[in-house]
Amino acid sequence: MPRPIVVGVDGSHESLAAADWAAREALRRGLPLRLLYADEELGTGSGPPESDASRYWADKVLRAAADRIEERLPQVPLSTERVARPAAEALVAAGSRAELLVVGSRAFGGIGGFMAGSVASATVARADRPVVLVRADRPPVDGPGVPDVSDPGAGRPVVVGVDAEQPCEEVPAFAFDAAARRGSQLWVVAGWQLPLAVRPAPEAVTAAQQQDTERAVARILDPWRAQYPAVVVRVLVVQGHPAQELLRTSREAALLVVGRRIRAPRLLPHTGPVTHAMIHHARCPVAVVPHR
């Protein structure tokens, strides 16, 4: 049985935007979609929904989101679920059994935050499957109505950040697959920094480090280029912290893909500085891919 795409809904504009994005992604992947409403106040009562305000609201939210998707994308297999657990716990648990977990996000900066405060950030930091955060204040890049996923030139680029010093397979695998499904170009961003002890460095040292990083990035990408020969890849290797370049490059992207290293159980979960910056400031949907 295929893993579903799971999206958290709570009745907010942000969660509806996430549900729309998740439905289009389910269509691309040929997967079922599950709408999840989680609230520890739901309880386990067996009476009619009208006798329990929390359950009544949960069912109303789920039905409204389901009706919206069924009207726009009736070909997507759809199910709903309400769970009597804290939202972040329920999303992480559901995500572990899903192909992809999707969560809505609010505007960032200042005191702005994610859906239900820290729910999305806690989910990203603990999930063992990819999580996509979707903003509500940006029109969907697929356009209104049913997306034309068969048009290879319709999509904007997918942007991915890679770490040349600590490579992994999960992040480029997700990014190449996302670009291939959209018929989009893949823009790869990597950064490098010289040790403080050799700053400022002679031009020859800087040029050598640039070339070394470019070769390291090429080694990371070569197996995926071979697996996805139709994906056009553009590589940008920059000196310095890659966060600003990722933000700039992803302004018009269909999707930004970044990684999150899974830490040992005894350590507190975290997202890392680059990923933290992307999920707080990137304006396009952000896929956070956990890896060892």
Task: Examine residue 144 and state whether it is found in any structural domain, yes or no.
Answer: no
Q: Is the pLDDT of residue 172 over 90?
A: yes
Q: Are 253 and 224 in contact (CB under 8 A)?
A: no
Give the tokens for residue 94. 């559901």
Task: Examine residue 211 and state whether it is found in any structural domain, yes or no.
Answer: yes
Residues 57 and 166 in one domain: no
Q: How far apart are CA 190 and CA 245, in angstroms?
A: 9
Residues 235 and 125 in one domain: no
Count Cβ atoms within 10 A of the Cβ of residue 201 and give its class: 0-12 exposed, 13-18 middle, 19 or more buried: middle
pTM above 0.95, yes or no: no
pLDDT bin (cut points 50, 70, 90) of residue 122 is: confident
Question: How many domains does the chain divide into?
Answer: 2
Q: Which residues is 160 bridged to in the sheet?
A: 188, 257
**Domain range spanning residue 284?**
158-291
Task: Examine residue 216 and state whether it is found in any structural domain, yes or no.
Answer: yes
Q: What is the CATH number of the domain that holds 71?
A: 3.40.50.620
Q: Is the pLDDT of residue 82 over 90?
A: yes
Residues 229 and 270 in one domain: yes
Q: How far apart are CA 155 and CA 168, in angstroms?
A: 26
pLDDT digits (tens, 9 = 90+) for 28-42: 999 999 999 999 888
Residues 67 and 188 in one domain: no
Residues 131 and 166 in one domain: no
pLDDT digits (tens, 9 = 90+) for 215-270: 999 999 999 999 999 999 999 999 988 899 999 999 989 999 999 998 755 555 66
Residues 203 and 234 in one domain: yes
Q: Is the pLDDT of residue 4 over 80?
A: yes
Give the chain as a 3 state SS string: CCCCEEEECCCCHHHHHHHHHHHHHHHHHCCCEEEEEECCCCCCCCCCHHHCHHHHHHHHHHHHHHHHHHHHCCCCCEEEEEECCCHHHHHHHHHHCCCEEEEEECCCCCCCCECCECHHHHHHHHCCCCEEEEECCCCCCCCCCCCCCCCCCCCCCEEEECCCCCCCCHHHHHHHHHHHHHCCCEEEEEEECCCHHHCCCCHHHHHHHHHHHHHHHHHHHHHHHHHCCCCCEEEEEEECCCHHHHHHHCCCCCEEEEEEECCCCCCCCCCCHHHHHHHHHCCCCEEEEEEC
Task: Examine residue 151 and state whether it is found in any structural domain, yes or no.
Answer: no
Q: What is the CATH number of the domain that holds 227?
A: 3.40.50.12370
Per-residue CA distances from 114 to 92, 130, 136, 240, 281 (Å): 15, 17, 11, 29, 12
**Tokens 């830490």, located at residue:** 263
My answer on whether omega of the bond before 48 falls inside 30° of 0, hence cis, is no
Residues 162 and 131 in one domain: no
